[in-house]
Amino acid sequence: MKVYLDLLRDIMAHGVDKSDRTGTGTRSVFARQFRHDLSEGFPLLTTKKLHFKSIANELIWFLRGDTNTAWLRENGVSIWDEWATEEGDLGPIYGAQWRSWPTADGGAINQIDYVIDCLKHKPDSRRILFHGWNVEYLPDETLSPQENVRQGKMALPPCHLLYQFYVANGRLSAQLYIRSSDSFLGLPYNLASLALLTHMLCQQCELEPGEVIISTGDSHIYSNHFEQVETQLEREPRALPTLRIKRKPESIYDYCFDDFELVGYEPHAHIAGAVAI
C-alpha cells in the first residue's frame, strides 16, 4: 500500500497545523485521491496490523441498519462505544440513512436496495450511489454526542458520506468520498471496508471486482499520532492478502463475519493510537 504511505508522507511534509473540534490538533491537507486495483490484492494495511473483525462487523452492522452498539459489542467490536449513550444508542447515523432514509410522507428509502437493483438492471446508470449526509439529523457541534442522540440527532456527522459505483466490462469499481479523514486510524478501516463492500456487491450482482478509489476532503493526522506515523513510515510494506468469501448468502444483508477469510495476511505489529473524542 505504497499509495497510502505516500499520503502520510504528504501530510507530514506539506500539511498545515490546525485546530479541530476535539482540541487535539491536526496536521492537514485538502483534496487528495488514491486508487487500488482489487486484482492486486485486498487492501488491508500491512505496515501495521489491523483488526479485520472490527472492520467486517462494522460494515455488516451498517448494512443491518443498526444504530445501537449492542450487536457490535456482542460481536467483539468496541470502536463506537465512546460516542454512544448508556443505552448504546448513536442516533440516526450511517445504517439508518443507508437502509431507511426518511421521506416527507413518513416512509423510508432503502438506498442499498436501490444500488443493487441498478447494478443488476441498469449497470450503465450514472446514478448508482448512496450517501449518509442527511442535513436534518446532523448534530449540534456545541453539544456532546450523547446530548445530540437524546435530541434525535446523530452522535457524529458521517465522515465517509458518499459511495458511487461504476460498471465497465463486467467489473465493478467503487469511489468513496470522505469529508474528514483521520488518516492514521480511520482511513485504513475505510479503505478495507470499501473493498469488502465492493466484493460483497460483486458476488451478489455477478460482477468482477475492479478498482476502489477514495477521495478525501480534509486529510489529517492528529498531533498525538505523529510518532506512530513515523514508526509506520519506517516499515516496508508486505504482500497484500487475498479475500475469500466462503458462501453466497441470499442477500447483501445476510453475511456474517465467518463468511470471510483473509489468505496470506502477515502484517507488521499493531501500532496503538488514541482516538480523538
Give me the active site residues, please: 159
Find out whether 21 is annotated in a ligand binding site. Answer: yes
Known binding residue 220? Answer is yes
- 190 labelled ligand-binding: yes
Residues 6+ apart with CB under 8 A from 219: 7, 11, 28, 29, 30, 32, 181, 183, 187
State yes or no: 222 annotated in a binding site. yes
Does the annotation flag 180 for ligand binding? yes
| C-alpha cell read off for 43 | 487492501
Judge whether 276 is annotated as a binding position: yes
Q: Which residues pair with 32 in a beta bridge?
A: 216
| The length of the chain, given as a count of residues | 277
182 is in an annotated binding site: yes
How is the chain split among helix, strand and coil, in percent rounded to 5?
35, 25, 40
d(CA 84, CA 77): 13
- Tell whether 174 is in a known binding site: no
Q: Confirm or deny that 51 is annotated as ligand binding.
A: yes
**Per the annotation, does 179 bind a ligand?**
yes
Instruction: Give CB contacts under 8 A, 24+ apart, made by 146-149.
Output: 146/83, 146/84, 146/85, 148/91, 149/84, 149/85, 149/89, 149/90, 149/91
**Run of H or E residues at 2:** helix 2-14
127 annotated ligand binder: yes
Would the CA dihedral through 187, 74, 94, 19 be positive or negative? negative
Q: Name residue 53's amino acid.
A: K
How far, in Å, CA of 171 to CA of 274, rounded?
Answer: 38
Write the DSSP symbol of residue 265: -
What ranges in 67-185 are assigned the alpha helix state H? 70-74, 94-99, 111-121, 145-150
- Binding region for dUMP: 21, 126-127, 179-182, 190, 220-222
- Binding region: 21, 51, 126-127, 179-182, 190, 220-222, 276
